[in-house]
Amino acid sequence: MRIIDLKCAVLGQNPVVRIVTDEGISGYGQAENSKPYLKPHVLFYKPFVLGEDPTDVERVMMKIRRLGSFKPWGSAVSAIEMALWDIAGKAAGLPVHKLLGGKVRDAVRVYNGGVRFPMAGSSPQDYAESTVRMKASPEGFTIIKQGVGFHSSMPGHVPGFSYGEVRTGGPHPNRAPLTERGLKHVIACVEAMKEVLGDEIGLALDCGPGWMVPDAIRLAKAVEPLNVMWLEDMITGDYTPYVLADVYREVTSSTSTPTHTGEQIYLRQNFRELIEKHAVRIIGPDPADVGGIAELKWVAEYADLHGILIAPHGIFDGLIGLAALVQVCATLPPNYIASEYPVAKPEWWYDIMEGLPDPIVKDGLIQVWDSPGLGVEFNVEKARGYLPESDADFFD
């Protein structure tokens, strides 16, 4: 089997990769719906993969992996890797999880991820009301994550939140020391959410990036009695092209509250310091940014050797990204906590994809399916109606 074409179309806002083979089998991958500009970056790799055997996934990846970079530029490589595994599974007649070593778990725990409810403001009451709605959502999540601090509207909504000038634009442009008022406000919002959730549902906090080390330590120590699941991306995070393991280690060693980062990190090499220095308690690679699903599994196993947990990212990776997450998370070691639940945007994605369970999430879990490849397929006739004119030949 040989690769005869590499295509990329933007469906809605999602860059979708299709690898075409000379045996009539195609594989699909997907990047975040916030990255429609990735199409030329995907096609950059076309000359490197044409003529290769797509079932030799690692051999193909060795040709292109070193050409990617931190989020967002590793997304193109990651989507190609997903598509290669999709072909390999289809060719073998096996689900991808079998090719990655087989299932460790029959159901994958997920947290709310893309299931969010708009808030009127940034008060503790606003957070409590939003948490009530999340708790009542039909997916029955057993872990709920909410944005606070610099990963929220607090810098612009709370007077005197920090000593820095409030900046707009994105993503997450603010970084500054917090005022005492600002820190107390964050803590009050966390307390309000925990009052809603009690000990029935875990609360995780997406915090930044943007925190200074003293404030990060103060917050982490203040919420220790609340047993939050983790504090995510306090120092670095979204679209931050470096790791700062030593800085994270200072925060982590000062508290029993788990720290978490990693969604922007590309490749195993860039997780090495975080893991070997025990800089965080939990890592959160995204299969659509880290270099693909096999790369995520490698990182997870190396973390497990060092006693570090994993809660993968995946909020905007869409339904193909969701399928990839389920396949790889089924195979991860017991250090796995839960992965972020990607949702489809626009909603019509649910009409053009087939193979997902219905409902997708029940009691906070997704049952792992056993159909070949990633286990999801386009309804091509329906999907054609959403292709832009420039990508009209995507399924041909």
State how far the alpha carbon of 52 is from the alpha carbons of 23, 45, 65, 80, 85, in Å.
13, 12, 15, 13, 14
| Residue in 27, 26, 56, 29 with CA at minimum distance from that of residue 41 | 29
What residues contact 303, with CB distance under 8 A and at least 6 apart? Answer: 271, 275, 283, 309, 310, 335
Q: How many helices (H) and strands (E) does the chain have?
A: 15, 14
Helix, strand, or coil here: 27? strand
Per-residue pLDDT, 317: 81
CATH topology (fold) of 3-93: Enolase-like; domain 1 (3.30.390)
Work out the number of other CB atoms within 10 angstroms of the CB of residue 70. 18
Report phi then psi at 111, rounded to 5. -115, 175
Angstrom distance (rounded) from CA 323 to CA 288: 12
- 93-108 as b/e, with b when 16 or more CB fall inside 10 Å? ebbbbbbbeebeeebb
What residues contact 169, with CB distance under 8 A and at least 6 apart? Answer: none
Angstrom distance (rounded) from CA 317 to CA 326: 12
Give yes or no for a contact between 266 and 290, defined as CB atoms under 8 angstroms apart: yes
Mean pLDDT to the nearest integer, 172-198: 98
Work out the number of other CB atoms within 10 angstroms of the CB of residue 387. 16
The amino acid at residue 347 is E
Percent of the chain with pLDDT over 70: 100
Per-residue pLDDT, 240: 96
- 334-354 as b/e, with b when 16 or more CB fall inside 10 Å? ebbbbbbbbbbbeeebeebbe
Give yes or no for residue 170 having a pLDDT over 90.
no
State how far the alpha carbon of 111 is from the alpha carbons of 155, 239, 366, 394, in Å.
25, 22, 11, 33
Local confidence band at 33 (pLDDT 50, 70, 90 cut-offs): confident
Give yes or no for a contact between 32 and 75, defined as CB atoms under 8 angstroms apart: yes
Asked, as a colleague might, if the bond just before 357 is cis with ω within 30 of 0, I would say no
Question: How do the domains of the chain map onto residue ranges?
Answer: 3-93, 98-378
Angstrom distance (rounded) from CA 147 to CA 153: 9
Angstrom distance (rounded) from CA 26 to CA 308: 36
Mean pLDDT to the nearest integer, 40-49: 98
| Residue in 358, 361, 338, 363 with CA at minimum distance from that of residue 110 | 338
Give yes or no for residue 316 having a pLDDT over 90.
no
Q: Give the tens place of pLDDT for each residue, 340-388.
A: 999 998 999 999 999 999 999 999 999 999 999 999 999 999 999 999 9
State how far the alpha carbon of 142 is from the alpha carbons of 66, 324, 385, in Å.
38, 21, 37
Q: ∠ CA(187), CA(188), CA(190), 5° rounding?
A: 65
Asked, as a colleague might, if the bond just before 72 is cis with ω within 30 of 0, I would say yes
Task: Give me the chain's average pLDDT, please.
Answer: 97
Please say whether the dihedral angle defined by the alpha carbons of residues 189, 145, 296 and 53, taken in this order, is positive or negative: negative
3-93 matches 98-378 in fold: no
Q: How far is CA 239 from the centre of its chain?
A: 13
Angstrom distance (rounded) from CA 361 to CA 99: 24
Angstrom distance (rounded) from CA 218 to CA 226: 14
- Kindly report whether the global pTM for this prediction surpasses the value 0.95: yes
The CATH architecture annotation of domain 98-378 reads: Alpha-Beta Barrel (3.20)
Radius of gyration of the chain (CA): 21
Q: Give the tens place of pLDDT for each residue, 112-137.
A: 999 999 999 999 999 999 999 999 99
Q: Give the tens place of pLDDT for each residue, 222-274.
A: 999 999 999 999 999 999 999 999 999 999 999 999 999 999 999 999 999 99
Give yes or no for a contact between 106 and 84, defined as CB atoms under 8 angstroms apart: no
Give yes or no for residue 328 having a pLDDT over 90.
yes
Give yes or no for residue 322 having a pLDDT over 90.
yes
What residues contact 47, with CB distance under 8 A and at least 6 apart? Answer: none
Work out the number of other CB atoms within 10 angstroms of the CB of residue 61. 19
